[in-house]
Amino acid sequence: MAGDPRDWVLHCDELLLAVNKPAGLPTLPDGYRGDAPSLIALLQQVFGRLWVVHRLDKETSGVLLFARTAEAHRTLNAQFAAHQTAKIYHALVVGRPTWDEHTIDLPLRPDGDRRHRTVVDVARGKPSVTRCRVLMRFAAYSLVEARPLTGRPHQIRAHLAAEGLPIVGDLLYAGQGGRLQGEAGAVLRRLLTDDAPLARLGLHARALTIVHPASSAPLTLEAPCPADFNVALARLAAPGSSR
């Protein structure tokens, strides 16, 4: 991965390191390819020992927080476990919601099928809530703000797909319910991949609010959308765009 890890830093002090994670770079080393680049390996070459507080999918960009001491790690883990943090994501989805604001309240079960997806499961799923707001509408796509109130794996991807609004590039979740079958499925597949305005998963972790372990004051970390995301939005918003 090209670039200087120092350029990704959003906040750095004796206890915390927050970065704007580039898309395409895994948070942790690949279990099968230990020599492949990972975000934590690159950062530790510059900043020393780091503790992982939370993760983002490889193709997701945005705010990612690390602890720089074991005590800070314990404190932050407790905050995440108690839902004392607040996260904001921007998701570029296929479709145009009929609502402006909406709360998705569907129980989710991680690793719920053969493809290891997080699935909606009313009987065995855990309570999962995501608050959504439409930021921009285009011809075939929309930009949605998603605020997960719970922390299930792939929660936003699974919830938006269940609403019929799969995230651009997310063939894994768009296929739930067989919606990639037939002619309609071919159109959806094209919008997700071949004709998509963004050549990766259209999900960006825009902001994260925590309580600083030292000061006990709220700290909001914000990650500007990367260039590829902004270019995609500009193209979609251009006059005459049919997307």
Q: List CB contacts of 204: < 8 A, sequence separation 6 or more.
A: 60, 61, 62, 89, 90, 91, 223, 225, 226, 229
Reading the block at residue 16, the tokens are 């915390």
Q: How far is the C-alpha of 149 from the C-alpha of 52, rounded, in Å? A: 20
88: number of Cβ within 10 Å: 21
Check: CB of residue 201 under 8 Å from CB of residue 231. Answer: no
Closest CA to 154 of 119, 102, 107: 119
Q: Which residues of 209-223 are buried (b: 16+ CB within 10 A; e: fewer)?
A: ebebbeeeeebebbb
Catalytic residue among 57, 170, 195, 228: 57
Q: How far is the C-alpha of 205 from the C-alpha of 14, rounded, in Å? A: 23
Q: Is 195 a catalytic residue?
A: no
The DSSP 8-state label assigned to residue 191 in this structure reads H
In the chain, where does DSSP find H-type helix? 39-47, 70-81, 155-162, 171-174, 182-192, 227-237
Closest CA to 43 of 62, 64, 14: 64
Catalytic residues, by residue number, are 57
